[in-house]
C-alpha cells in the first residue's frame, strides 16, 4: 500500500514506511538518539511484532489492517509540568478525526476520550495512545506520540472490549486516507497547544470525557468505590467526587470498572 501525506503543514511530510518493526515508538526513540529528526517525522508500520501499550502492556493488532504509527514532535516549548496538555491535544486530534467519520451515521456513534488518552466508541476501545517524552532541564525536548487505531480489523480476542472503524461503519476503509485525516486533525490541535490556547484544549477535553459527571464504580488498591468524574487537574490527575469528598488520582492509582 502506498502511504503519502499531503494535507498537513509539517506532520508526516517526512515519513518512514516500514513493512515490519518491533514497535514504531522504539524505532522513533532510536531515531532521536542517533540523528536530529525533522519535526513532525512519522514512522508508520504495516506490522508491529512487539507493540507497546500503556503501563507495560502489549499492543497487539492484526498486520496490514490498522494504523500503527509514531509522530516525533519537537516539544521544547512545553514545560515538563504541563506535559498533560500534549496528551489532551493528541487525544482531541484522534477524537476529532473519528467524530468526523461517524457524525453522519444514522445512530450517531458516541466517540469519547477515556482518561488519560484512550479513545472509545460506544463504550469500546478503538484507539490507544502512548506518548514518550525526553526532558531537557525544565522542558520537554522530544515527544514520541505512538498511536494504534483499529481500522479494518473485525475480530478481536475473547474478552477484549474493542471495536474498529469498519465494525462501526460496516465498510472497509482506506488506511492511507485515514492516516492523512488523523494527522491533519492532530496537527490542528498540536498547533493550538503551541499557540498556548490551553483553554480550548481544557474545555474540549472535558466536553468529550468518558464517564464525566456519571456515578459509577472505580477501584484503588483492591478497594471498589463509587465516584463521579468532575474534572482533571493541571497535572492531568483525574478528579472524582466520592462519598467522602473530592479526591484526585494519578494514572495507575485508579482503575475503571
Ligand atoms: C494503549 O492503549 O495502551 C496505548 C497503545 C499504543 C499503541 C501504539 S501502536 C504505535 C506505537 N508503537 C507502539 O509500540 N505503541 C504505539
- What's residue 200's pLDDT? 98
Task: Compute the mean pLDDT over every residue in the chain, rounded to the nearest whole number.
Answer: 96
163 and 234 share one domain? no
For residues 173 and 244, state if they share a domain. Answer: no
C-alpha cell at 153: 480489523
Query: Do 52 and 140 reside in the same domain of the chain?
Result: yes
222 and 255 in contact (C-beta within 8 Å)? no
Res. 106 pLDDT band, cuts 50 70 90:
confident
Q: Give the distance (Å) from ligand 1 centre to CA of residue 242.
A: 32
Instruction: Give me ligand 1 centre to Cα 152, in Å.
Output: 17
Q: Is 198 in the pocket of ligand 1 (CB under 6 A)?
A: no
Output DSSP code: residue 155: -
CATH code, 250: 2.30.30
In this prediction, residue 225 carries a pLDDT of: 96
The torsion defined by the Cα of 221, 223, 229 and 233, in degrees rounded to 10, comes to -30
| Nearest CA owner, ligand 1 atom 3 | 53
User: Is the CB–ligand 1 distance for residue 46 below 6 Å?
Assistant: no
Residue 55 grid coordinates? 503501563
Angstrom CA distances, 208 to 204, 205, 217, 227, stand at 6, 6, 19, 18
| 86 occurs within a structural domain | yes
pLDDT score recorded for residue 241:
96
User: Atom 9, ligand 1: which residue's CA is nearest?
Assistant: 148
Answer yes or no: do 172 and 224 share one domain.
no
Residues 147, 92, single domain; the answer is yes
CA angle 75, 76, 77 (to 5 degrees): 90
In sequence order, the 6+-apart residues with CB closer than 8 A to the CB of 114 are 120, 125, 209, 210, 211, 256
Q: Percent of the chain, pLDDT > 70?
A: 100
Q: What is the pLDDT of residues 46-79, one digit of tens each?
A: 999 999 999 889 999 999 999 999 999 999 999 9
147 Cβ below 6 A of ligand 1: yes
Span from the CA of 94 to the centroid of ligand 1 (angstroms): 13
Tell me the CATH number at 106. 3.30.930.10
- Is the previous residue joined to 116 through a cis bond, with omega within 30 degrees of 0? yes
User: How confident is the model at residue 205, as a pLDDT?
Assistant: 97
User: For position 2, what pLDDT does the model report?
Assistant: 85
Across the range 226-242, mean pLDDT stands at: 96
Predicted structure pTM score: 0.96
How much is the pLDDT for 122? 96
**One domain, residues 41 and 80:** yes
Domain identity same for 128 and 162: yes
Nearest atom (ligand 1) to Cα of 61: 9
> Comparing C-alpha atoms, which of 155, 194, 148 is closest to residue 175?
148
The pairing of beta strand 41-45 with beta strand 15-18: parallel
3-state secondary structure of 105: coil
Domain count, the chain: 2
Instruction: Report which protein residue has its CA nearest ligand 1's atom 2.
Output: 128
Q: Is the minimum distance from the CB of 204 to ligand 1 under 6 angstroms?
A: no
Could you tell me if the CB of 145 is within 6 A of ligand 1?
no
User: 251 is in which domain, residue-wise?
Assistant: 215-256
> Could you tell me if the CB of 166 is within 6 A of ligand 1?
no
Q: What is the pLDDT of residues 112-166, one digit of tens each?
A: 999 998 999 999 999 999 999 999 999 999 999 999 999 999 999 999 999 999 9
CA of 55 to the centre of ligand 1 (A): 11
From the list 53, 40, 35, the residue with the least C-alpha distance to 9 is 40
- The rounded distance, in Å, linking the Cα atoms of 91 and 115 is 9
Assess whether 44 and 146 both reside in one domain.
yes
* Residue 25 CB less than 6 A away from ligand 1: yes
Amino acid at each position: 500500500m502506498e502511504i503519502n501525506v499531503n494535507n498537513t503543514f509539517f506532520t508526516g511530510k517526512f515519513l518512514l514506511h516500514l513493512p515490519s518493526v518491533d514497535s514504531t515508538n522504539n524505532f522513533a526513540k532510536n531515531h532521536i538518539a542517533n540523528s536530529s529528526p525533522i519535526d513532525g517525522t512519522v514512522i508508520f508500520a504495516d506490522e508491529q511484532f512487539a507493540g507497546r501499550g500503556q503501563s507495560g502492556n502489549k499492543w497487539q493488532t492484526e498486520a496490514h489492517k490498522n494504523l500503527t504509527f509514531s509522530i516525533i514532535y519537537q516539544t521544547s516549548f512545553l514545560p515538563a509540568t504541563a506535559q498533560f496538555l500534549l496528551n489532551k491535544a493528541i487525544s482531541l486530534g484522534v477524537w476529532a478525526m473519528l467524530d468526523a467519520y461517524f457524525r453522519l451515521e444514522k445512530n450517531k456513534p458516541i466517540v469519547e476520550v477515556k482518561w488519560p488518552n484512550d479513545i472509545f466508541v460506544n463504550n469500546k476501545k478503538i484507539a490507544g495512545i502512548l506518548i514518550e517524552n525526553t526532558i531537557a532541564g525544565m522542558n520537554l525536548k522530544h515527544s514520541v506520540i505512538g498511536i494504534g487505531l483499529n481500522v479494518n480489523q473485525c475480530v478481536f480476542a475473547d474478552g477484549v472490549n474493542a471495536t474498529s472503524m469498519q465494525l462501526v461503519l460496516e465498510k472497509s476503509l482506506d488506511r492511507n486516507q485515514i492516516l492523512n485525516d488523523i494527522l491533519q486533525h492532530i496537527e490542528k490541535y498540536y498547533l493550538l497547544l503551541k499557540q498556548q490556547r490551553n483553554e480550548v484544549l481544557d474545555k474540549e477535553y472535558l466536553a468529550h470525557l468518558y464517564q464525566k459527571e456519571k456515578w459509577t464504580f472505580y477501584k484503588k488498591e483492591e478497594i471498589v468505590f463509587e465516584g463521579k468524574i468532575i474534572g482533571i487537574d493541571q497535572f492531568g490527575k483525574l478528579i472524582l467526587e466520592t462519598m467522602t469528598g473530592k479526591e484526585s488520582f494519578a494514572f495507575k492509582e485508579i482503575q475503571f470498572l
